Structures are given as structure tokens and as C-alpha cells.
Structure 1
């Protein structure tokens, strides 16, 4: 197809359908009729010579070819919007609507405030932040940006480390004097994170010394914020990322145990689909988050 035959509105309709999941949702978002959207999608498929969508009575999702086309088409539309905005304003400014996903605990405490400030500072940007502890793939679930915390597995997506964290042993203040060595923890009441595979086995290190311990769980929860609240209320302890409990420790609501011993450290990663062009807003958000952690504002190290 030659550039003269490209119809960016048609491409935009297709992107809107994938984002919304239905033609009805896309038509509502675009403020046009369902008939127009449906006809334009069929025309686009005829032009490309392939089916872009699987259709049923309630939902639509892209075919393999449609998913590849969606990622490239969305990137192209974003780039075109940025070019228009740059010419109009005389400078490059972030523009567009973006879907972002992150884990519940990290997203609630750190990312939500950062993104709230970002959209306030950039009036041309709107963001849909979806918080979930499911590891949602940006391509499969149509996110422009995803954040992962921990030790991510290999991925075809592009990843950049924007921060680090450490695991801390934290307890209610009443337990502070009862555990001076890692082995002392084995006899204390432990709140386990049900989302972890090995939630009761931990390795501590201090210089050349290593201690492996197994703790007994009296209570299991599946979210880190709930665990931190539970240990603050009872005579028990847990092991949590320091970005989650730093403020509670600083305020005295929790106490950090075994500070001379180290547990695992991990990374905070920004993940984007494997497209050549990243929208200016996405590039800027990643820099904002990286700067936040580098400045120690997220208290994710030490």
C-alpha cells in the first residue's frame, strides 16, 4: 500500500476497537456511530488482506496479525500526534492517552502520586493506571507501559531498571528485643505472603556468613500492604520490600530487625512493548520514575 492510500482515521478506529474491546466501546470513545467504525475496520482488513480481529457477540480481540499491527499502528499514531503538537506549540510536549499497569503495593504508594503530578503538569496527557499483582504483559493486555518489581523473567518486551529495593525483616515494636540473630526468628510468629512460592524459607548473609532459616507461618495474606498492617497490629513479624515499610519504620509503627544481615535485593523495572518508537509521554514518565528513585525519594535502597 502506498502512503497516498493510508487512512490514519481508519487505523485510529482499529486501535480504538482493540483498546475498548468492542466496536460499541470504540464508537463511544470516538463519538461516532458503530456502523462507521465497523465499516472502516472491514475496509482496513480488505486493504491488508488479512483478518485483524476475532469476533464474537460480546467481545473482540486481535488476531496474531492484528496484535502486531496494533502495536505498530498505535506507535505511529502517537508519533503523528507528537509531531502535530510540536509544530503547533513550537516545542515537543507530551500528548496522548496511555494505559499503564503496576503491582498494587508499588503502584499505590509510589506510582499513583507520581502520575497524578505528571498529568497535572502535562495537560495534554491522560492516563489509565491499572494496579494488579498479576504479571500482565503490555502487548497482550494493550498497555503502553508496565512496571515490574522483583526478579522478572526473560521477556520479548523492552525493559529498563529504574530503581532497586531490599527485603527487610520488620515487626511490631514489642518483638524488637527478642530476635538478635536470624536463627532467633524461627520461634516467632510469622505472617507469610501467600503470593510467594517459598514464603517461609529465607537466606540471610553478613559478609562471609550465611544463615538459612525456615519460619512457621501463623497467618497468610496475599498483598503486602495488608501484611504490613497485620504485623503493626500484632506480636508478629514478616519480610517485606523496604519501599513498602520505610515510612512505617521511620515513624516507629514497625521496627526493622536484623539490620546487619542482608536478604535479597531486587529491581524495579519499566517494561514497554518492543516497538521502535516510544511516545514522548512514556519516555518522560520513565525518566521521572528513575529520577525519583535515584534521588532517594522512593526510599528503595539502604
Structure 2
């Protein structure tokens, strides 16, 4: 490797037509360049340059050696660039655990975009509502929403979602539209299991309202679908109801009030990540951060 570096410096000196210009181009002191070329001449047993105070000239042997060095250095540079391209295109199987509804509703287009960018990566995606064990199970990364993590895991924030209140126009025609958070107690509310109250915020104000309804579910997708079927009011991030809002099947209520912001983050067992995992996390952080 040292010989290759000296050959590269020799090519630089010849191309620059002198040690001073080569020193300016490489940032290596003039005296160091001269010493390295002298060491190269000694190592190969050939005099490569005629030195004068004004210029340098190649010897006959130096001319032949220069052509050889230039080919070797160019090949090494191309090999290095090829290696860089390989490193820029990570490959392998990316094993990820994703929340079911968030993945199918929101992440699917982003995963498809990422797959187009990195054709060398294949995907083993586990869509589940359970909290996978990143230590004992073979996952590279887990995407989680609004959950605290054990201290031995590494959580990288991706974005934050803020829940708001929604209902279908037909439900509101039938049951009326609440004009205060407290009025939610007189409505059918669709919530996750064990959620018997909703805490809402508006500026510095905070209100906790008891809620009830005919359904308790463990699927945000099912809650959203029932809301479009006129079964009640939901508290859900805008990002998960974007299509329904665009289609007019859901409408936002009490626009000044919202639930507690929910962090979204990528969780790994270690900070030392393979390229495929690092690129996936960076990609999601960039895309989600734009929303």
C-alpha cells in the first residue's frame, strides 16, 4: 500500500510538472514529496527524475515507469470507486417489525420507494401488534409508536403524530356534533382496549373526558373503518385518516383540541448497524420528517 501511495505521488508530481505545484494540489509539503520520490527511486533502483531549481524532467526509465504507474493508479482509483458504489448500494435481508395499521396505511408507499432505491435489499416484514423482543428474535429494526423503551434498546426518533377527533358526516347528522370536549361523554366513542378516557389539549388547557361506546378494539384500522360506517367518534392521527378525509367519509371535530403527541421511532438492539438497516432508518427519518 505504501508503494502504491508513492507511485500515486510520483504521478502527481509529473502531472503537475514540479514539486511545488504538486504540493499545492495534494497539501503535502514540498520537502516531503521530494523525500518520498527519492525513497521510491531507491526502492526500485531507478533514477526517475532530473531535478533542477526551475523544473523536473523524466529520465528515460522514468518515462516508462510513469506510464506504468499511471495505469496502476488509474486501475486502483476505479476499483476504489467501484467499492464505493457497492457500499452505497447495501444488500441482504432487512427484517423489520412494523405496527399493522401504520404499516399498511402509511408506511407501504415509503417501503415501496425504498425498495426501488435499493434493489439489492430484500424484505422480511412482520406486521404485528405485539411487542417483539429485539434481543432474542432476529429483527434488525422495529418501528414503534408512542411506547417507552427499555434502556438497553436504542430508540431513534423519526417523527411525531398528533391525534385529532373525527367522525362520519352521517353519524354527526344522527347524533349531533359535540361543541366541547365534555360533550363527548354523550357520544359513542371508538377506542383502543382499556382506553376509558381521552385527554385533550388546546393551548395551555387540558381536559380529561370519560368515553365509552359499544366497541373496544385492538386495531386502529378496524376503528377507522367503523368510524366511516357511522359507528362513532375516533381519536386518531391525521396521517392515518388522510384518505378518509380526502374522500369525505370522515370529518374533523373540535379543531382546536388534540390528543397527546405520539412519537414514532425506530428501535434497534445496538448502535452498530449494517448498511441496510442504517439506510432504512435514515430514509424513514427523511421522509417522515417532511410530513
TM-score under structure 2 length normalisation: 0.66
Q: How many residues align?
A: 210
Unaligned runs of 5+ in 1: 1-83, 297-302
**Which one of the candidate residues 123, 126, 133 is aligned to 1:127?**
123
Tell me how far 1:200 sits from its aligned partner.
2.1
Which residue is 1:215 aligned to?
A: 211
Tell me how far 1:268 sits from its aligned partner.
0.5
Aligned partners of 1:90 and 1:207: how far apart in 2?
50
Which residue is 1:295 aligned to?
A: 290
Q: Deviations over 1:263-297 (max 9, x none)?
A: 111111001122x521111111111111111111x
Bigger mean CA deviation after superposition, 171-180 or 214-223: 171-180
Partner secondary structure for residue 245 of structure 2:
helix
**Which one of the candidate residues 262, 267, 274 is aligned to 2:263?**
267
* Superposed structure 1 runs of 4+ greater than 6 Å apart: none
Partner secondary structure for residue 228 of structure 1:
helix
Aligned partners of 2:196 and 2:247: how far apart in 1?
27
Aligned partners of 2:111 and 2:259: how far apart in 1?
30
Q: Report the aligned-residue RMSD.
A: 2.3
Is 1:249–2:245 an aligned residue pair? yes
Paired residues for 1:218-229 under 5 Å:
218-229=214-225
Is 1:94–2:90 an aligned residue pair? yes
Bigger mean CA deviation after superposition, 169-178 or 140-149: 169-178
Which residue is 1:27 aligned to?
A: none
| Structure with larger Rg | 2
TM-score under structure 1 length normalisation: 0.64
Q: Deviations over 1:138-183 (max 9, x none)?
A: 2221100110111323331111000110111111113175211101
Which residue is 2:281 aligned to?
A: 286
Shift of the 86–231 alpha-carbon distance from structure 1 to 2, 3 Å rule, reads same
